[in-house]
Amino acid sequence: MSERNPGVPIWSAHSIIAIRAIIILALLLPATVLAGDRIEHLVTTATSLSRTPLPPLNYIRKTCADVLCAARLIKTHLGPKARLEKITHPDTDTIRRVTSVPSLSDSKRLPPDTLQFSLDRFGRKAVSEIETVLSHASGNNKTLPSNITINLRNNRGGPLNRMLRVASLFLGPIPNAIKLSGADNEKMLAIPGNKQKLAFKTLKLIVGPNTASSAEIFAGLLRVHAKALIVGDQTFGKDYLLRMVPVNHDWRLLVPVEKISVPGTVIAGGIIPDESF
Amino acid sequence: MVLRHFKKIIAAALFGSFLAAEAMALDAPYDHYVFVPNRNSADVAILDANTDKLVARVKVGAIPHQVAVSDALGKMIVTNTKDNTVSIVDLATLKTTATVKLGHEPEHMEIAPGGSFAAIGNIGEGTISLVSLTKDIETKRITGLHEPHNMTFSPDGKLLYVGNLGANFVSVINVAKGKVINQIGVGEAKGIAALAGTADEHQGIINVTRTPNGRLGFAAYGDGDVMAVLDLRTQKKLATIKLGDEPWRAYSTADGRYMIIPNNGDETVSIFSTQAPYREVARLKGAADMTGVNTGWFETTAFVISRGNNKIIMLDLVEMKNIGEIKLPKGTPETGVVTPDGKKLYVALSGTSEIAVIDTRYRKLTGRIKNVGKEPWGAHMVGALNYCH
């Protein structure tokens, strides 16, 4: 039998232990990593991406009852470049039928030897759309037009990796083509080389104030590596990359993470064209 | 003229007799039937794989998407995406025993090990419904998903792994608690450089494909060009491996040796060993818009369905090389199923009312089953590796 202090009833000793345990648990709980806590997942992801000091998790948990509130609070701390966007859910038939909203429009053959088209977005099928247009333009003798003109005036940007795949069609693989500068790190991105590079003599890009983000980077890459002539008006001048963090089924947080630059040209403040349109 | 009317009457009578399926019954076990949801005629065609004949058409709700069969309970479950319901049909009588109201746009589902309940993803509202197949009721609706697509149970049925089409992570659900308990990241957060309000197409995670022994799960992330290898017992991520451009999802061979992943961005097919270190053993030529992969004839051949090119690409899984293609009849191939013995492949052709039948040994089209219903969307069999897109 175990001995006990006759002055302290056994139920009292157990109660003290239990109360102490509850107090310790209560102190630890807010800092405990609770699997499945969506607010914690959001805070952890946003913090790891942005390197911007965010309020402590405990504070966010106390302030917000749901994850959307937490996202609003985080957005405020991330500054004006951060965005909280309502998600436009895709028609799921579009996904399973592997289709896409067209990225190209207004393709036409201009005499004597030019193909012109508008590249309005970097959609899922942008590369194959360009290949199809070029194939049609080649005609029966399979000769590509010597000159290509791409209208980017309505291209407001899009996913960076899809833009790089489109750039690859015109440039082939290029190491260290883009610099991403984060708060405490820098990295270089390459243009992939999965597709055969197109053969052309001259490349002209038409730009304007609505040409933005990925479209500006695209124009910068083609200017540096393919000596593309840029005509039109000064571009929008958005030179940073946002990383997507899903908040809930209907909302996403876009966290500004890295400044994008193209070695050899200037994107910040907008691209100054070589010629006005 | 009279003859034409007579033909119409006969055709109508035959069609009516198929739809009046209540009078018919299927023979258990049900592993020799092929179940085909027809989106446009709102029914499920049942084919006999022994004869390749249409046996019955069972009326269900609007836009049926996927069929699953609980062999243990003798029930067929059909998600009706437009009606926001699931139809539960008794296979012995082909009578609908219940139509259960679910969340917005139920599409994909998985029957739990043991067959007593199903998990059904309501992709339009970001929830999962747990449906008891013994009581024919929804027992729980789980929130916190992001466009839940396909899902996979752990071997013991205690955990449910959900592929989020709208995110770069897999959600893990504790089935008993009915709650999301973990989110396993796959690849880095998608990088977007665009002005506010620019429309963006996303393709997160279509599925977590398990090995036949249930131990490993493979989750391809379309926007990130990578795939995570998960231990389905411990929720641990064992590896992250690089794929081609815009991978669709992984498909397992029946022997569990390989995972086959169509990369729709660069029209290639990656083949990965399921043994650590999960090496890519081959990257072969694919085709446009690949929506399914089936394997057959002692797992020597993979049949890759190309929706965009209306054909099947064949891959030799011994030599790891392309070995030809099968042109399909006019129509749009969707998904398919190989019989449990690995000898025949059935492919739904949504542009017609037909199912194409492929001999996996001789690698050729051997038949077309006509008039199965409008817009056949997939094919499913008990005991086979079923999938849906």
The reported pLDDT for the residue numbered A259 is 95
The reported pLDDT for the residue numbered A2 is 38
Write the residue in A98, A124, A248 that is nearest to B307 by C-beta: A98
Whether B263 and B270 have beta carbons less than 8 Å apart is answered as: yes
Q: What 8-state DSSP symbol labels residue A113? A: T
Instruction: Inform me whether the C-beta atom of residue A214 falls under 8 Å from chain B C-beta atoms.
Output: yes
CA dist., res. A248 & res. B385, Å (int) = 32
CA dist., res. B142 & res. B385, Å (int) = 26
Write the residue in B146, B288, B289 that is nearest to A246 by C-beta: B146
**B376 burial type by CB count under 10 A (0-12 exposed, 13-18 middle, 19+ buried):** buried
Nearest to B208 by CA among B265, B267, B167, B177: B167
CA dist., res. B110 & res. B120, Å (int) = 7
Confirm whether pTM is higher than 0.90. Answer: no
The CA distance from A244 to the nearest CA of chain B, in Å, is: 5
B43-89 pLDDT per residue, tens: 999 999 999 999 999 999 999 999 999 988 999 999 999 999 999 99
Write the residue in B145, B192, B264 that is nearest to A98 by C-beta: B264
Residues of chain B with pLDDT under 70: 1-24
CA neighbours closer than 13 Å in the CB half-sphere of residue B247:
30
What is the interface pTM, i.e. ipTM, of the complex?
A: 0.85
Residue pairs spanning A and B at CB distance below 8 A? 141
Nearest to B95 by CA among B135, B51, B136, B59: B59
- Average pLDDT of chain A, as a whole number: 86
Give contacts of B 251-270 with A, CB under 8 A: 264-266
B124 to A194: CB separation less than 8 angstroms, yes or no: no
Helix (H) or strand (E) holding A111: none
CA dist., res. B262 & res. B162, Å (int) = 20
Instruction: Inform me whether the C-beta atom of residue A39 falls under 8 Å from chain B C-beta atoms.
Output: no
The CA distance from B358 to the nearest CA of chain A, in Å, is: 22
A249 to B146: CB separation less than 8 angstroms, yes or no: yes
Instruction: Inform me whether the C-beta atom of residue B158 falls under 8 Å from chain A C-beta atoms.
Output: no
Find the mean pLDDT for residues A38-56.
89
Task: List chain B residues with CB under 8 Å of A256.
Answer: none
A243 to B266: CB separation less than 8 angstroms, yes or no: no
Amino acid in the structure at residue B147: E
Beta strands in B134-235 (DSSP E): 137-142, 148-153, 159-164, 169-174, 179-185, 191-194, 205-210, 216-221, 226-231
Domain residues of chain A, as ranges?
13-79, 93-243+257-261
The structure tokens listed for A49 are 């991406």
Grade residue A31 by pLDDT with cuts at 50, 70 and 90: very low
Whether B9 and B16 have beta carbons less than 8 Å apart is answered as: no
A12-21 pLDDT per residue, tens: 556 566 556 5
Tell me how crowded residue A250 is: count the other CB atoms within 10 A of its CB.
17
Give contacts of B 167-226 with A, CB under 8 A: 167-169, 172, 179-183, 188-196, 198-203, 223, 225
B191 to A159: CB separation less than 8 angstroms, yes or no: yes
B201 to A238: CB separation less than 8 angstroms, yes or no: no
The structure tokens listed for B375 are 């817009």
The reported pLDDT for the residue numbered A35 is 35
Pick the CATH number of A93-243+257-261 from 3.30.590.20, 1.10.3210.10, 3.90.226.10, 3.30.43.10: 3.90.226.10
The reported pLDDT for the residue numbered B20 is 47
Find the mean pLDDT for residues A137-149.
84
Check whether A231 has a pLDDT greater than 80: yes
The reported pLDDT for the residue numbered B198 is 84
